[in-house]
Amino acid sequence: MREREARDSTPAFRSTSRGIKPLTLSHSLLSAYSNPKISQKPYHVQKTVDNPDTFPFHKSVSALWEQKWRQPASMGIYPFVDAQVSDFDPIFAALKTSSNDNPTILSDPDAYATPFFPIASSLVARARTLEQSGDTPAARDLYLRAAAVYCTARFPINRSPLSQKAWEAGKAAYMAASPCLSPPNTEVEIPFSHASPAAGESAAAPIPAYLRLPAGEPPSEGWPLTLFICGLHAYRTDHTPRTTAHVRRGCAVLSVEIPGTGDSPASRGDPAEAERLWSSVFEWIAGNAEKYSFDSGKVVARGVSTGGYYAMRIAHTHADKLLAVEWIRAQNHMEYPFALADVLAWKFGYGSVEAYVEGELRKRFSLVENGVFEMESARMLLINGMEDSIFPIEDSEVALRFGRVKEARWVEGRGHMGNPGAEETLLGWIDEVGGGK
């Protein structure tokens, strides 16, 4: 079993006589904001950054559950998509007891994941019994609930034996539910045709992806396609409502994980990994357009959270992204419920936060310093919340200073990714550019 690590914006693409070319939406992008010629304090959320008490849910396990997570769990929204809150109450009670309510358990991925497994296993066993009795809708719902429990068990990234086990078990539960989704979800394996052995990649390791096609007969020109670029933590098993919204608007959805997360075979920490990964994906899309009835002239790439960085690269024909170094230390006490700096260090291939801070991340990944923003780009929409303390709004504004004129929406009073409110805007935008309905 291979251990991986973990990780949510939006570009689109139109084909020309020269091939697929991106149109773009970017949802909470993390572009190259720490360029010293551009970034200037204070940020819009500087007071938030400077005050560790702004987010008190970091102080204990019970605070995390009661103040940060129980409400989204009761609503079935990120990071509790497909979940039922009653599955999580006993889990967090057990975590509180085993840790004496000490939040340091959140930095021990195996100790943190342990109490999730009995609940998830019980849900899977109940789902199998219902499936055998012919009650497939009820079985589907239990499988999805189990996948949601496993998803939170590996939060924020599958970087240990038990969190990797949760990822594998979560995929199995989700795929057990997939045939009963409306429309169904299927798994496809995309050849990693542009893999670089020199970077430790192998063409024999496929790019796993999920594909959902709208119900009914495709239009004469084929289905528009949304390339759904997953984020730092939420992988291809974790976006059922979002992919459902796209397919119900007449758009096929292909979900792919970013380098350093989920099952991505792309090398971590190599700026060129993005080009190799997405070139392989686009090659597969073009080669399978007839098989799946894709309209290769209407491919929309949507990146969520950290995936927005890769969306921006794709929009400019491929490029990468960067995190503001002055935000590294503050990230561990802000909006993100776990130690984000540690997670990003892991995702980008660094052994520690210190190495991450001292490394040349900006120089290697910056869309500004590497000239990506100076390249011809596709049409883009950028969406984020004004109060995002993970990737500040100034980060998104950098993209507006370069290249082609872009469309943007900053959602007042909202945090990371601008929800509630952003989802409806971006779906309407995709419809407008021809990638849906």
Q: What is the pLDDT along the chain (437 residues), one digit of tens a residue?
A: 333 333 333 333 333 333 333 344 443 333 433 454 555 556 776 776 666 666 788 899 999 999 999 999 999 988 899 999 999 999 999 999 999 999 999 989 999 999 999 999 999 999 999 999 999 999 999 999 999 999 999 998 888 999 999 999 999 999 999 999 999 999 999 999 999 999 999 999 999 999 999 999 999 999 999 999 998 889 999 999 999 999 999 999 999 999 989 999 999 877 788 889 999 998 999 899 999 999 987 888 888 888 888 888 888 753 332 221 122 233 444 566 666 777 777 777 777 777 766 766 777 777 788 787 888 788 888 888 887 777 777 777 888 888 888 888 888 888 777 677 778 888 888 888 776 66
Q: Is residue 43 part of a domain?
A: yes
pLDDT at 83: 96
Would you say residue 276 lies in a domain?
Answer: yes
CATH number of domain containing 334:
3.40.50.1820
135 included as an active-site residue: no
Residue in 370, 402, 203, 191 with CA at minimum distance from that of residue 281: 191
Give the chain's domain count: 1
> How far apart, in whole angstroms, are the C-alpha atoms of residue 151 and residue 174?
10
Lookup: tokens for 373: 């923003």
Residue 305 designated active-site: yes
How far is 82 from 241, CA to CA, in rounded Å?
Answer: 8
Contact 99, 61 (CB under 8 A): yes
Asked whether residue 304 is assigned to any structural domain, the reply reads yes
Q: Which of 255, 305, 366, 396 is catalytic?
A: 305
Q: Which amino acid is located at 285 in the chain?
A: I
Amino acid found at 90: P
Q: How far lies 303's CA from each of 7, 27, 183, 276, 336, in Å?
A: 12, 6, 22, 17, 18
Within a domain: residue 245? yes
DSSP-derived 3-state class of residue 411: strand
Q: Is residue 371 part of a domain?
A: yes
**What is the distance between the alpha carbons of residues 304 and 232, in angstroms, rounded to a whole number?**
9
Burial class of residue 412 in the structure, from the number of CB atoms within 10 Å of its CB (0-12 exposed, 13-18 middle, 19+ buried): exposed
Catalytic residue among 388, 389, 395, 396: 388
Domain that holds residue 317: 12-55+186-433
pLDDT digits (tens, 9 = 90+) for 5-17: 333 333 333 333 3
Q: In this predicted structure, what is the pLDDT of residue 52?
A: 66
* pLDDT of res. 185: 97
- Residue 182 pLDDT: 95
DSSP state string for 326-343: GGTTGGGGSSSSS-HHHH
* 124 occurs within a structural domain: no
Query: Does residue 107 lie in a domain region?
Result: no
pLDDT at 16: 33
The answer as to whether 165 is a domain residue is no
Q: What pLDDT is recorded for position 96?
A: 97
Question: What is the model's pTM?
Answer: 0.82
Integer CA distances (angstroms), 274 to 116, 264, 420, 433, in order: 33, 11, 30, 25
User: Cα(426)–Cα(251) distance, rounded to whole angstroms?
Assistant: 14
416 is catalytic: yes
